[in-house]
Chain A
Amino acid sequence: MPAGREGNPPSQWSACGMRWGIQGRTMLGYIGRRLAVAVPLLLLISFVVFAIMHQLPYDVIDSFSRPDMDREALEALRERYGLNDPFLVQYGRWLWGVLHGDFGYSLVSRHSIADDLLTKIPHSISLVLPAYLIALVLAIGLGLLAGANRGRPTDTVIDTSNALLISMPPFWFALLVMYFFGHTLRLFPIIGMHSVGRTDFTDFALHLFMPCLVLTVAFYPDLSRYVRSSTIAQLGEDYVMVQRAFGANKREIFLSHVSRHVLLPIITQLGLALPMLVTGALITETIFAWPGVGKYFADAVNTFDYPVVMAVLLLSAALVIIGNLLADISYRLADPRVRLKGGVS
């Protein structure tokens, strides 16, 4: 790895790692450096979003005030919520709270945001996790199948369906599913997570079916394409030709070599999917009124409930950064040939 430090580094190197002196040596140091970049990045994101929310011509008082309400009473409310303080004071107060694990209170419902998130995150995970796992299993199976039969009818069918599914707007598919299964066949309840007064699993599963189907179809095609193209790339590698030359049959090569090389990099996709656990279902949750983080955020945006917006954005940005880091680390563990590089991308 430090070979580039002697002699002339290739141009690619000087562009990425060498110039910044952040070429990694040990895994722990690498993680430390990445986290050292991540913290200021999160601060910057929170500051920018706070500034945007502050610039808005409306605030939360406007979202629940009526024309007949007393102007002075509204002004008193603004004062009580601290909305009249200077921008930096408001930001400082918010940041101080976050550092103490206090995300503040929703301005609309007056609930503690931390408590709200603690109930809503499991709801989102219970929807996204099964959908992602089903999509992943389907994608691995069908992607390997398509890649192994490149150019044959099996591949054409799988590849064309992937292309069509990628072009399909997920919210349109959600509407079709809702119309077909919900309105026409009346098989599944259309909105929510539980029927009123019921908490049993059957009821939950019935509510889960449609949003989960929509999400699975949304996650599947990209993963499937990824598996298919890396299968095709692996089949063109030299080691396959060597195996052939030594008389191994196609099945052996595929099962014991190619599939292993294809499946290892998929670990990296898991890291990249981490932020989706929480906010990946924003549209689906909104359509099916699933009480998760996505719907929580969308509602908060519509009512200018900025403490909620800030909390979800910060959570989501943190997950993006952690997910990228996990992806890079797992990729490094899966393939020791990969050099560690700095940066947060």
Chain B
Amino acid sequence: MSTTSLRRRPAVKSKDQAFTFGRRWVAALLTPQAISASTLLVVIVGFTLSAPLWGINPDALDLDSMSQPPSSEHWFGTDGLGRDYFIRVLYGGRVSLAVGLLATLTGTGIGVVVGLAAGFSSPWIDGLLMRIVDFFNSLPWLLMVMVVSLLLKPGIGTIVICVGGFSWMSVARLVRAETLSIRERTYVRYAVYIGQSRARTALWHVLPDALPTILVAASSSVSGAMMSEATLSFLGRGIQPPQASWGQLLQIAQGSLQQLPHLAIIPGALIMATIYCLNVLTNVTRQAMEAGQ
């Protein structure tokens, strides 16, 4: 619980403040670092989204051209079964990015509900929820996720649940701290005073004010979720073949590392580039937010 998140902000921003606030955002996003990061991210995301437009089947085997290095015909070469690696990397990227976003959405969703409930209900429920947060925090997450993933059918849904279900605690803590400060504001107290229900007050009056904090926390957990997905898939507990994700491609590449190093280098480099860009943009956003407070 940091002191900055508890600091009161003026509830209503004047037009002038809103203007400087907007200008600060523009200034933050126009630094060379932020521009290059967002450009690279747009290129990567654009390529993965364009996967179906290339007209190449990612599962088509070509036994005449197995295990080839990159060439003009196969940009990223072919894998051990003669599948075009470029298109597999594109489809893998779609899965990796989708899992990153969905897991973040799941984790943030759970965190917001728990945080709002803890901060806006009786001390008893608050205590119980915080003990649950403690419980999840004291779990060795990689070990737990490996066990839980045994229980569910392998696939995108499972990995989203595993990653999201074990990463909501920090969001819950943040939202709870925000809620505790927001609920002391006059308009929230008034809403309670005139007899609005707790749930309605929490959703209509507290949640909107906590939204900026939530958004920053969510955006910073996308890269973590992508890394978790890659780790699990690499350990063979995530995305299963023939479906591909960048982590799963790395797992396959591990077996033929000596002969076909490019199969390992390409997906890993893409994971690293994507996570780096996401981290840069998150930092920029957070700094602009903190400066705006």
Contact = CB atoms under 8 A, between A and B. Distances in A.
Contacts of B139: 45, 317, 320
User: Which of A12, A15, A163, A164 has the most B CB atoms < 10 Å from its CB?
Assistant: A15
B140 A316 contact: yes
A166 B279 contact: yes
Interface in B54-76: none
B148 interface: yes
Nearest to B183: A11
A-B complex: 8 closest residue pairs judged by Cβ atoms: A172-B268, A167-B276, A316-B140, A167-B275, A344-B134, A183-B258, A175-B264, A168-B272
Interface in B113-144: 123, 126-127, 130, 133-135, 137-140, 142-144
Nearest to A315: B140
A345 B143 CA distance: 19
Contacts of B235: 283, 286, 298
Contact of A175 (B1, B138, B250): B250
A320 B140 contact: yes
B258 A175 contact: no
Contacts of A224: none
24 contacts: A11-B180, A11-B184, A12-B6, A16-B1, A20-B127, A49-B144, A55-B151, A163-B279, A164-B272, A164-B276, A166-B279, A171-B234, A175-B264, A176-B264, A275-B140, A279-B142, A283-B234, A283-B235, A287-B254, A301-B146, A304-B150, A313-B143, A320-B138, A345-B134
B181 to A, nearest CB: 8
A279 B253 CA distance: 25
Interface residues of A, number: 49
B105 interface: no
Interface of A: 11-12, 15-16, 19-20, 41, 44-45, 49, 52-53, 55-56, 163-164, 166-169, 171-172, 175-176, 178-179, 183, 275, 279, 282-283, 286-287, 297-298, 301-302, 304, 309, 312-313, 316-317, 320-321, 324, 343-345
Nearest to A183: B258
A167 B272 contact: yes
A56 to B, nearest CB: 6
B156 interface: no
A305 to B, nearest CB: 12
A176 B62 CA distance: 27
User: Which size class do B's interface residues fall under?
Assistant: 35 or more
A251 to B, nearest CB: 30
Contacts of A178: 257
Nearest to B237: A301
Contact of A282 (B142, B247, B267): B142
Contacts of B138: 41, 45, 317, 320-321, 324, 344
Nearest to B263: A175
User: Which of B138, B144, B147 has the most A CB atoms < 10 Å from its CB?
Assistant: B138
A223 B265 CA distance: 26
A320 B143 CA distance: 12
A167 B279 contact: yes
